[in-house]
Amino acid sequence: MFITITLICFCSWSLAGGCGVEVKSVFITEGDSVTLESALAEIQSDDLIMWRFGAKKEILLATYSRKDNKAETVYGSDGRFRDRLQLDSQTGSLIITNSRISDSGLYTVTSINSDIPLNTFNITVYVCLPLPDIIRDCSSSEQYCSVVCSVVNVSAVSLSWYKGNSVLSSISVSDLSISLSLPLEVEYQDNNTYSCVINNPISNQTTRLDINILCQICPGCCGFTEAVIRLALSALVGVATVAVLVYDISSRRSDQKREQEIREIS
Ligand SMILES: *[C@@H]1O[C@H](CO)[C@@H](O)[C@H](O)[C@H]1NC(C)=O
Ligand SMILES: *[C@@H]1O[C@H](CO)[C@@H](O)[C@H](O)[C@H]1NC(C)=O
Ligand SMILES: *[C@@H]1O[C@H](CO)[C@@H](O)[C@H](O)[C@H]1NC(C)=O
Ligand SMILES: *[C@@H]1O[C@H](CO)[C@@H](O)[C@H](O)[C@H]1NC(C)=O
């Protein structure tokens, strides 16, 4: 997932600024590498290619110049892209490696030979999705097996319960959510396949519910036998505590007594 090469999907096209430049939307996952095409098949001699990042306050990412048969690539000084940019000297395409969430935004490539940008990209970098966690909820009725699917630290995701291929329930968040959870009740003898799926617009992660394992025991639950065992255990612990206390006190007493005797002798 982290070193996947060039996972691009041009999912939507829109017009920006009214000057006829298409903004190409690119959706990638954190850690992916992406190649942004300059739209040139080959850079002409005496051309100057510039890549910029940002909508209002632009950052110069890289320039490529070819003059008198001398080619030169200069990378911008902005630290956040340090060692993560490569410019293709044939086409002028820009390769961003090991992408970060903060790489999201507009990328524009211009040529000294063209009044309008050659290409404009709107990159959205999504976080790597965590695997959903399914735990037993022992606080509710014993008639059904209650479970809860949850994920932490997520934003712009949906969490859903699937029975086979159909969605049973779903919850979505757009902003950062510390914890997102979705309950489900199943029969103990249910033979269907249940899975909890987290997804964002470009990827998903699935955890299968294993009824046989998860719905068997409820630690801390209050079946009759278990209650009796617990009672017996706590009684045992109680007796042991009292025994230790008594021993401690009596040994201290005998220590004191011995000290007293020693004092009397001397
Ligand atoms: C870029 O993409 C983001 C997320 O899809 C969107 O919110 C934003 O409006 C886009 N910006 C432009 C200039 O298209
Ligand atoms: C959730 O995010 C916060 C802040 O980014 C971080 O301190 C915390 O360790 C994260 N928790 C988990 C379980 O990843
Ligand atoms: C599940 O399968 C078992 C045996 O294959 C069957 O006895 C039981 O009735 C089934 N349960 C349901 C809810 O269909
Ligand atoms: C999860 O993603 C895969 C492709 O990556 C897709 O085939 C599948 O339908 C997705 N599942 C859900 C539940 O969105």
Can you identify the CATH homologous superfamily of domain 133-214? Answer: Immunoglobulins (2.60.40.10)
Phi and psi dihedrals of 81, rounded to 5? -100, 10
Selection from 177, 147, 184 nearest residue 162 by Cα:
184
In the chain, CATH 2.60.40.10 sits at 21-126, 133-214
Report how far apart, in Å, the C-alpha atoms of 228 and of each of 182, 233, 235, 247 are. 33, 9, 11, 29
Alpha carbons 88 and 92: distance in angstroms, whole number: 5
Alpha carbons 114 and 195: distance in angstroms, whole number: 53
Contacts of 63 (CB under 8 A, 6+ apart): 48, 49, 50, 51, 73, 74
pLDDT tens for each residue of the chain, 266 residues long: 444 333 333 433 444 444 556 899 999 999 999 999 998 888 888 899 999 999 877 899 999 998 877 888 898 888 889 899 999 988 999 999 999 999 999 999 999 998 899 999 999 999 899 999 999 988 876 788 999 999 998 888 999 999 999 999 999 998 888 899 999 999 998 999 999 999 999 999 999 999 998 988 776 555 544 444 454 555 555 555 555 555 666 666 666 666 666 666 65
191 Cα nearest atom in ligand 3: 1
CB hemisphere CA count around 56 (13 angstroms): 0
* Burial tier of 179 (Cβ tally within 10 Å: 0-12, 13-18, 19+): exposed
- Any atom of ligand 4 within 6 Å of the Cβ of 170: no
Q: What pLDDT is recorded for position 219?
A: 63
Alpha carbons 166 and 168: distance in angstroms, whole number: 6
- Any atom of ligand 2 within 6 Å of the Cβ of 153: yes
- Ligand 1 geometric centre to CA of 11 (Å): 12
Q: What pLDDT is recorded for position 251?
A: 65
Nearest CA to ligand 4 atom 13: 197
- In 211-265, which residue ranges form alpha helices assigned H by DSSP? 211-214, 224-265
- Any atom of ligand 4 within 6 Å of the Cβ of 199: yes
Q: Do 100 and 85 touch, CB atoms closer than 8 A?
A: no
Size of the chain, expressed as the number of residues it contains:
266
Nearest CA to ligand 3 atom 9: 189
Alpha carbons 105 and 91: distance in angstroms, whole number: 22
SS3 content of the chain, % helix, strand, coil (to 5): 20, 40, 40
Domain formed by 21-126, architecture: Sandwich (2.60)
